[in-house]
Amino acid sequence: MQQDSPEPVQRRLPLLMGFIILFALVLFFRLWHLQVAKGAYYYELAESNRIRPIKIRPPRGVIFDRKGRPMVENVLTFDISLVPEDAPDLDEVGRAANGAVDGGINVETAALVGAAGANCLVAGNAVFGAPDPKAAIAAIRASAEAARDRAAEE
């Protein structure tokens, strides 16, 4: 095995250094271009990339009881997630948004959450454990609406 003499290696060394310096300059220029020249464009692109509408098919249809009456139906709902840092005026957003409360709802708690502005209540045990579910729903609705109306007048 023959080794190159040091003279040809010494002649190729400046070429290698030139290539490394050129590569570093191209890399530095490209980084500058992305950060400084196009920074605002990519910032806007990233900010607008937060909302991703995803259609989710309902896992089931209407559920009927043994007499053929619908027990459960699909209801279209919308969920909104809010990042507090992105809201320009969090108090205004809170006043404009409709609230929903899921669970622990009965006639007494419906008045509390109704006064707080919730307009969508999910009550399980208070309805299905009641002797008359229709009357329970009507009482919960009336309690929440009355409390919301009183809070709106104040």
Rounded Cα–Cα distance for residues 93 and 83 (Å): 11
The amino acid occupying position 82 is: L
Q: What pLDDT is attached to residue 36? A: 93
Cα separations in angstroms, 106 against 3, 34, 40, 92, 145: 90, 57, 51, 29, 13
Q: How far apart, in whole angstroms, are the C-alpha atoms of residue 91 and residue 103?
A: 25
100-111: burial string, b at 16+ Cβ within 10 Å, e else: ebeeebbeebbb
What pLDDT score was predicted for residue 29? Answer: 97
Entry pTM: 0.39
Q: What is the pLDDT along the chain (154 residues), one digit of tens a residue?
A: 566 667 777 888 889 999 999 999 999 999 999 999 999 999 888 877 776 677 777 667 788 899 988 888 777 665 666 666 666 765 666 555 566 666 678 888 888 877 777 777 877 778 888 888 888 889 988 988 888 888 777 7
CA angle 138, 101, 123 (to 5 degrees): 40
Q: Which pLDDT belongs to residue 49?
A: 77
